[in-house]
Amino acid sequence: MDALLIALFLLLLIALMETARVRRSGTQRRAGNVPPPPPEPAGLPLVGHLHLFRKPLHRTLARLAARHGGAVFGLRLGSRRVAVVSSAPAAEECLGAHDVAFADRPRLPSGRILSYDWSTMGTASYGPYWRHVRRVAVTEILSARRVQHFADVHVREARAMARHLHRAAVRHGVGGAARVRVELKSRLFELLMNTMMAMICDKTYYGDDDDGEVSKEARWFREMVEETMALSGASTVWNFLPAALRWVDVGGVGRRLWRLRESRTRFLQGLINDERKEMEQEQGGDRAQPAARRRTMIGVLLSVQRQDPDACPDQLIRSLCISSLEAGTDTSADTIEWAMSLLLNNPNVMRKARDEIDAFIGQPVRLLEASDLTKLQYLQCIIMETLRLYPPAPLLVPHEASTDCSIAGFHITRGTMLLVNTFAIHRDPQVWNEPTSFIPERFENGRSEGKMAIPFGMGRRKCPAENLGMQMVGLALGTMIQCFEWERVGEELVDMTEGSGLTMPKEVPLQAFYQPRASLMHLLY
């Protein structure tokens, strides 16, 4: 009871302070040309525009921008000022000309918990620490050399998924391979978790000859990733509640976040400890052929740590590993699932992609290799068009202004959070012809150069894992197109409704029929 009274008193105090702040901001708005808020519905005391949070948030913000004609408009989420950018020119100003001014990240409460006090590359503020983390990640993990180093892992896991699907079809067939129904997101997650874990610590959780059973650890990891994406970022109201309400923990979000942090820390530290033990055994001569073992992500980072413990402590290794695991599994699986959904709704595009692969591979028939991807131009166009329509981060990871600046003629004050609505920008009819249509040809022969497609962001905070992501997505998607005939489950088009969260999953997981192509079955046994 005492705690409740204290919380109510704090809320009243905050409400009074907020009313005064709103009055001051109104005076400031008249004095300076700050981004205007939507005229309706108006912001409320204490919570501001939090009542506008309708999921998925990128759709809500796109509707507000379209309704009120705002390339840039302002919101107040709790006590935090927010500028929402929904046009390519304004986004280019923010992340181009004013890149340094918007290189900071807002210190959202969920980030403090899940990102170890904002210490991950994606949540750290711009400065020496962030530059150090990014340098370590790009040099030791994400360089072109390291991506190429793991190309055979990506090929191996894409083929393992294809063989698993093939065996299921043979089991259901009589004297051949049957036409089989599959829920694709689970298979894609298995593929990408195996791929990322092989890169991080040389472990896999889904075997090539498994019976469909999933390990307890693998099930937990998928649930953890999905919950993390649901509770993180700007789409989570809890991040913007007054401190008193977060303290009361309405809805139990805070407790869920802390449980996630504790379980993730145990999992990641276990991986680090296992790798450290393996390396010590190798150095002690306990292994017969230490040189034959692949250098993993954790192994490389532990080598950096051995040279300079302060430069790469265990917490930094945990931060880099969890960022890689979550981004490499969830966003890549979503992208492939969206691409397959679009191809099933546009079978002529699927046929054109398969014809390109068949023509390039020629005779004798073989399975796709990583080195083939750059030459399969139409496959690349399909991936780019998928990323345009369904960007993995429909609202880029939030930025924050570290200094006053001007965007599209509006004054942006220091401390304002910036939300760049890539979903709206990628579908802007002033930039793209038929913006909601799936037309991979728009990316052929550099036709769309100069048009803003920024699924990985831009500027200093651009995602450095673009090459890795494109290779994993390209191999998985290309292998599925090459090896199988695909059909929709019914006559209706695949449901393309978006889910909500930090990323953009499908609301309804994709199910489809597939059948191995007769000409490639001998390669899938």
CATH 3.40.50.1980 describes domain 33-173+180-523? no
Known binding positions for heme? 463
pLDDT in tens, 370-408: 999 999 999 999 999 999 999 999 999 999 999 999 999
Q: Domains of the chain: which residue ranges?
A: 33-173+180-523
Going residue by residue through the chain (525 aa), what tens digit of pLDDT does each one get? Answer: 444 444 444 454 454 454 444 444 444 444 468 899 887 667 788 788 888 778 888 999 999 998 887 799 999 988 899 999 999 999 999 999 999 999 999 999 998 998 888 999 999 999 999 999 999 889 888 999 999 999 999 999 999 999 999 999 998 876 677 889 999 998 898 899 999 999 999 888 765 544 555 567 777 888 888 888 888 777 678 888 877 777 777 678 888 999 999 998 999 999 999 999 988 888 776 554 444 567 899 999 999 999 999 889 999 999 999 888 888 888 999 999 999 999 999 999 999 999 999 999 998 999 999 999 999 999 999 999 999 999 999 999 999 999 999 999 999 999 999 999 999 999 999 999 999 999 999 999 887 777 889 999 999 999 999 999 999 999 999 999 999 999 999 999 999 999 887 788 999 999 999 999 999 999 998
pLDDT in tens, 111-135: 899 888 899 999 999 999 999 999 9
Each as own residue / partner, the long-range contacts of residues 491-494 (CB below 8 Å, 24 or more positions apart, any chain) are 493/345, 494/341, 494/344, 494/345
Residue 437 DSSP symbol: S
Instruction: Report helix, strand or coil for 452.
Output: coil
Task: Give CA–CA dist 30/36, Å, rounded.
Answer: 10
User: The pTM is what?
Assistant: 0.90
* HEC per residue, 112-165: HHHCCCCCCCCCCCCCHHHHHHHHHHHHHCCCHHHHHHCHHHHHHHHHHHHHHH
